[in-house]
Amino acid sequence: MKDQLQALEKEALQKVEDASSLKELQDVRVAYLGKKGPITEVLKGMGKLSKEERPVIGELANKVRGQVAEAIDSKKAGIEAAELEKQLAEETIDVTLPGRPIPTGGPHLLTSIVEEIEDLFIGMGFEVREGPEVETDYYNFEALNLPKDHPARDMQDTFYITDEILMRTHTSPVQARTMNMIKGERSVKMICPGKVYRRDTDDATHSHQFTQIEGLYVDKNVRMSDLKGVLDRFAKQMFGEDREIRLRPSFFPFTEPSVEMDISCKVCNGEGCSVCKRTGWIEILGAGMVHPRVLKMAGYDPEEYSGFAFGMGPDRIAMLKYGVDDIRHFYTNDIRFLKQYHQA
């Protein structure tokens, strides 16, 4: 039995030495150290030995089992280390290579224009206010001196939800709501950006949905010259310090007097070209002094307070500033167009 154990030890150690993979090594472990292995079979036959031989053979059997197990563990560690080294060699990453760029988006051109205008007017002391896009007829029209039978409503036909609820046609209702909330107790200096809706047929210069920014300044002793100064600063900031402005008489129900503001054409510097239709000027926005009736409806005393208001379309400003020839480009989500202006 002693010779048998020594032969098994030699045989098992040779098998361990010859094993070249973890699977082969596991097969050796099962074959020699498993419950049905030869070493276990030898131990089962110890009952036939004398009392003197049992301790000797038992000690030898345990020694053989331990040496084989130790050899298997040592070989396993070597195989695992070799496999890891091979894997690292095959999967080497050159950390000196630049990383693959991850495409990132950017702000929409209209968002950039709106934020630029907001920053400009905040710098002049205006606050930014917002209001609902689904508006009442009263705030959208009547509070702005446009009663139900007023013909000027035809120019702002919109989408009605009920007879009294509609999609706002301008952001002026935010001005009316703000003045109503203050009730003539203090001055107000604000701009209100947002989306507006009109029943327009979409073409290169018209859209049923577009953005608008309207401004309002109401205080004591506000004059038309104040309005001109604010608009002149706006034009030079947006289009260049060499831009000139002019104010032309116009009509808006909520302002009196009313004006249209033009800027000198930056293409021809006022000389006249196809862009400005040979006039040297490009219409940019409407403005005027707040109508006394609008002030009175909002709780202001028109004998004590005066103010000016203006309204502009960021869509049009973006088209003029960046040479965009079709307003629909802003809303069709063509990435090829939009990504040109991520740094605008």
How many residues are there in the chain? 344
- The DSSP output letter for 163 is S
Q: If 0-12 CB within 10 Å is exposed, 13-18 middle and 19+ buried, where does residue 321 land?
A: middle
Continuous H helices in the chain: 2-18, 22-33, 38-44, 53-90, 109-122, 137-140, 172-182, 224-239, 292-297, 314-322, 335-338
Count CA atoms within 13 Å of residue 28 on its CB side: 27
70 is in an annotated binding site: no
Cβ 189 vs Cβ 220: under 8 Å: no
What radius of gyration, in Å, describes the C-alpha atoms of the chain?
43
Residue 221 φ/ψ region, left for φ over 0, alpha for ψ in the -120 to 50 degree band, beta for the rest: left
Binding-site positions for Mg(2+): 256
Binding-site positions: 256
